[in-house]
Structure 1
Amino acid sequence: MPDRALSTPLDDSFERYLQDKGKGRGGDGGNYRRNAARELERFAEWAAGDRGDDDWTGIVPDDVNRVPTFDDLDERVFREYARHLGGDRGLKQNTVQTYYRYISAWCGWCVNEGYLEAHYAQRASAMAPLPEDDGRKPGDQQAWTSEQRHALTRYVDEQARDAVEAYTTLPEDTDPLDKQRGRYAALKAARDRALVFVLAYTAVRVGELLRDPNDPRRRGVRWEDLSLDDGSMDVYRKKQQWDAASLPDPVISPLRSYCQLMHPPTERWPVFPTFDQRTLAELVREELAERGERPEAITERRAEYARDLLLALDEDIRPPSITTDGARSILQRLSDAAEIDIDHPKHAYLAPHGGRRGMGEVLVRAFGYTVAARYLDNSEEMVRERYSHIEAGELGDVATEALNDVDSNLDR
């Protein structure tokens, strides 16, 4: 191996690796890239002696003054890092495994690119300190129960109905700003209802539905992506291609009434736009300025509206979709307001992925793994693995019935 490669600082390889693993044009997007970048930065800091115990000085010999290079790496380094990850930091076993896999994947890439002569991170001695996976099954992860789904959808439906009725029954002589406030409240309640119903019944991944700041291709569904008459919605799937997802009957009415209330100026508007006032204020000011409006005129124009969202609708200033994190915040707020009973070690609210898993539970129990796999856009093998607890329970019932039959025959 060339000495040049061995003398290369570790972090000189990071950007190339992340571009290879990233998504979108130039490899700049994707959750994997973001997570891998975070773990590589932690590894680099640890290797330099900046993360660890007080007596940890890094992987460079004490009598040498330089940054860590590939010449410093061997299986003992990765063994020590595995021990560091598994230390007393409160990380779960499978989290430690996940963090180590990011570094191991980078190590394998470095071998292929000529930075290293061997995949040290995958050697048995390097991985020995890693804790065993804690065996947590997908069935242990949050899945909305039928009772939780009903409670949340009933709550948002009541909130939207009340808000829409309050707006549409305002007297004709209502002050224009008060009327705008009523419309804004109705729009927000209708948006929240539509979002909850879509997450609860379509089993679409939240990353396929909303904007992901780390992946430019995931800009959130637009009205042009929906066909309410056909009951379908085009989404950019996890498998990196566009595909049609089903919109079952419970979802159609909330979406249709929401669309009528919003009356988006074009079909390119996001179905679930952000309502963040700071974001919308900046967007409105910048767009009107680009259209030639003077600052004084922009201020006067904004003063005519109770909320910048309403001005954006009138002027066709298209806002961004809410993000996946935004959806989690909304569901947290709604779960608290609806006073839903939630007993889960990780989430104190009904998380977006729980809606998908809840629908998976319903479909597997009602129609089996094959139908559920098609609806969930997963392989049947993966669905069987993720919902193995259902089959285990059913087999337990079969075993119980068999034992009862045997016992009854012995009693005769």
Structure 2
Amino acid sequence: MSDDRTSSRPESALDDSFERYLQDKGKGRGGDGGNYRRNAARELERFAEWAAGDRGTDDWTGFVPEDADREPNFDDLDERVFREYARHLSGDRGLKQNTVQTYYRYISAWCGWCVNEGYLEAHYAQRASAMAPLPEDDGRKPGDQQAWTSEQRHALTRHVDEQARNAIETYTTLPKDTDLIDKQRARYAALKADRDRALVFVLAYTAVRVGELLRDPNDPRRRGVRWEDLSLDDGSMDVYRKKQQWDAASLPDPVISPLRSYRQLMDPPTERWPVFPTFDQRSLAGLVQDELADQGERPEEITERRGEYARDLLLTLDEDIRPPSITTDGARSILQRLSDDAEIEINHPKHDYLAPHGGRRGMGEVLVRAFGYTVAARYLDNSEEMVRERYSHIEAGELGDVATEALESVDNIGPN
């Protein structure tokens, strides 16, 4: 099932699906990379061992009938099996509630994939009776809790800064006799690295919601910020806020230099160009073909025109064919790639990468600790009441320090 598996357990029919599932969920060529794949592979191996009777209590022999001399297969799976596994995870093993929920989600996700692929008839793992033994929700929302730590923020920004600097240097120091297509390839690589750097810095330091920054396909008002929305001299950016109105967001100093560099390299044809255009080749190819066809060019002329460029993005810049902004899902994919490339240590029950909202929440942590809830609320475009609720752990810690100081004071002046 996985390259690092050390178990001597015989292969089962379930294992055949594990590898296909992990390839679908993995990253990189062949789907053999990514934190999610590694974590899911580990939990699927544990599930397979438990199913075969190799994990759990001494009297657990697995769920294959005792008179059947074989390994588990899909015909054995039903909601009763997943209920037993939920009970196994919830047993007295010292696992936290969120950890149990996370481990079960890996198995449940595989079960859902098996339904889509035709291995199973129903998503047994999601049935209420199957999930009943899982610990009750403790009220926390893991997906809303991730906050980039200072170490993570610095690691990611250092990584994208280094990548952009290297790509730009490679492009700007090419020999004069470099082939035109090779120059275009180098420029494209520099543009992509510079875009990634600008995006990461904006998400890391502005606390702007990703839905306010990029395109939402389901909301035409959220078309992604354009260069006309930015004022780098004033350090501000107009965004369409969650409260359904345009408002100015701050661009702090760390963001200005990456945006200036990126704008200079891109040299957008007009101010109406998106700051973060899609680089998806399929989308750009269709856009270019449609636009040039509308201008009256024949198919063979379009093919010849596109052949003059290493990438369609460069043609759109020359011809002022304005591409759409990347979507919020696109930003998540970019951050997944960058988190993996930077090899950032991430320990979170839901996200195996630095998610966009984690940048906003991490900046909120910094502001609350440095300037208090009122200033943080203004910067985050939230009510002070909501900020106090979401960052209540900071106040609790500060009150703990006050209590400690009070106890020490009493102990020092009290009777011996």
TM-score for the superposition, normalised by structure 2: 0.68
Partner of 1:403: 407
Alignment-derived partner of residue 174 in structure 1: 178
Instruction: Give the gaps of 5 or more residues in structure 1.
Output: 1-52, 54-83, 94-130
Distance 2:157 2:149 in 1: 12
- Pick one of 181, 188, 195 that aligns with 1:191: 195
Mark the CA change 1:139 to 1:269 in structure 2 (over 3 Å): closer, same or farther: closer
Give deviations 1:324-361, integer Å, cap 9, x for gaps.
00000000000010011111111111000000000000
1:213-292 aligned at under 5 Å gives the runs 213-292=217-296
Q: Distance in 2 between matches of 1:183 and 1:265?
A: 16
Residue 91 of structure 2 corresponds to residue 87 of structure 1: no
CA contact (8 A) 2:143 2:350 kept: no
Shift of 1:403: 1.4
Aligned: 1:210 with 2:214: yes
What CA deviation, in whole Å up to 9, does each residue of 1:66-100 have, x standing for no partner? xxxxxxxxxxxxxxxxxx9981465999xxxxxxx
Checking the alignment, whether the CA contact within 8 Å between 1:222 and 1:268 is kept in structure 2 is: yes
Q: Which amino acid aligns with 2:195?
A: R
Deviation string 1:381-408 (CA, Å, 9 cap, x unpaired) is 0000000010011111111111122222
- Cα 1:239–1:170 change in 2 (3 A) is same
**Equivalent residues in 2 for 1:87-106 (5 A)?**
87-88=128-129, 90=131
1:139–1:386 contact (8 Å) kept in structure 2: no
The aligned residue for residue 311 of structure 2 is: 307
* Cα deviations by residue, 1:261-316 (Å, 9 ceiling, x for unpaired): 00000111100000000000010000000000000000000000000000000000
Residue 23 of structure 1 corresponds to none
Q: Distance in 1 between matches of 2:281 and 2:258?
A: 24
Match for 1:312: what amino acid? T
The CA RMSD over aligned residues, in Å, is 2.3
Distance 1:174 1:275 in 2: 24
1:103-122 counterparts in 2 under 5 A? none
Q: What's the CA shift for 1:409?
A: 2.5
Give the aligned partner of residue 302 of structure 2.
298
CA distance in 2, matches of 1:378, 1:192: 27
Aligned to 1:143: 147
Residue identity over aligned pairs, in percent, reads 86
Residue number in structure 1 paired with 2:378: 374
> How far apart are 1:132 and its partner, in Å?
7.2
Residues matched between the structures, number:
295
Deviation at 1:251, TM superposition (A): 0.2
SS at match of 2:247: strand
Question: Which amino acid is the alignment partner of residue 360 of structure 1?
Answer: G
TM-score under structure 1 length normalisation: 0.68
- Consecutive unaligned residues in structure 2, runs of 5 or more: 1-78, 80-124
CA distance in 2, matches of 1:347, 1:279: 27
Of residues 324, 339, 343, the one that matches 1:335 is: 339
> Residue 158 of structure 2: which of 154, 158, 173 is its match?
154
C-alpha distance in 1, partners of 2:309/2:324? 20
Which of 365, 390, 395 is matched with 1:386 structurally?
390
Between the aligned partners of 1:280 and 1:246, the Cα distance in structure 2 is: 31
Residues 314/367 of structure 1: CA separation in 2 closer, same or farther (3 Å cut): same
* CA offsets 1:229-278 (integer angstroms, 9 cap, x no match): 00000000000000000000000000011000000001111000000000
